[in-house]
Amino acid sequence: MASRSAAPNKRLIQELNKSRQEQNPALTYLAPFDDSDLHHWRAGLKGTADSPYEGGVWEIDIMIPDNYPIVPPTIKFITKICHPNIDAKTGEICLDLLKSEWSAAYTISSTMTVIQTLLTSPEPNSPLNVDAAALLRAGDTMGYESLVRYYVWRYARKADD
């Protein structure tokens, strides 16, 4: 593996230490995938209370580029999830923050909080999951929430609350 610059590593170590000291209520865990690569993290993202995602925990894969924090991390869902802005097959997330709206002020932890917020604030007009978006655009909130709850029951492990 090519050597990585020290500046992003220092920032990532600071972020990791801070995340260990200050628990993020959106997460069950946030840590490097293994100790040998500080640029590959995993997280357990909780579904928000009083939403169809409540009770679920999704595993998230986080690839951090060498030029982080100037360039955003690549984040995707490993656990299957039903959401208009998340590709059901690849786990790719359609979120401006992860592309054009990125700022070096964001941390991995704060980015995960934004992704949790996305779960309850879908944008059905820019979908990666057209079926879920179609339900919302048609005003079938009950159908959409039932499908989400099925995915939570079927795929998301349960939160240890």
Q: CA 16 from chain center: how many Å?
A: 17
Statement: residue 154 has pLDDT above 50? yes
List, for residues 111-150, the tens digit of each pLDDT value.
999 999 999 999 999 899 999 999 999 999 999 999 999 9
> To the nearest whole percent, how much of the chain has pLDDT over 90?
88
Determine phi and psi for 132, rounding to 5 degrees.
-65, -40
Q: Tell me which residue of 91, 76, 88 sits closest to 129, measured CA to CA.
A: 88
Phi-psi region of 76 (alpha: psi -120 to 50; beta: other; left: phi over 0): beta
Report the run of H or E that residue 142 belongs to, with start and end. helix 141-155
Residue 82 annotated among the catalytic residues of the structure: no
Q: Give, in degrees to the nearest 5, the angle at Cα 22 between 67 and 36.
A: 45
pLDDT of the residue at 2: 44
pTM value is 0.92
Which structural domains are found in the chain, ordered by start? 6-156 (3.10.110.10)
Write down the catalytic residue from 38, 94, 147, 148: 94
Q: Tell me which residue of 84, 85, 87, 92 sits closest to 63, measured CA to CA.
A: 92
List, for residues 85-101, the tens digit of each pLDDT value.
999 999 999 999 999 99
- Which amino acid type is present at position 23? Q
Sequence-distant (6+) residues with CB within 8 A of 158 are: 55, 56, 57
Could you tell me the end-to-end alpha-carbon distance of the chain, in angstroms, rounded to an integer? Answer: 39
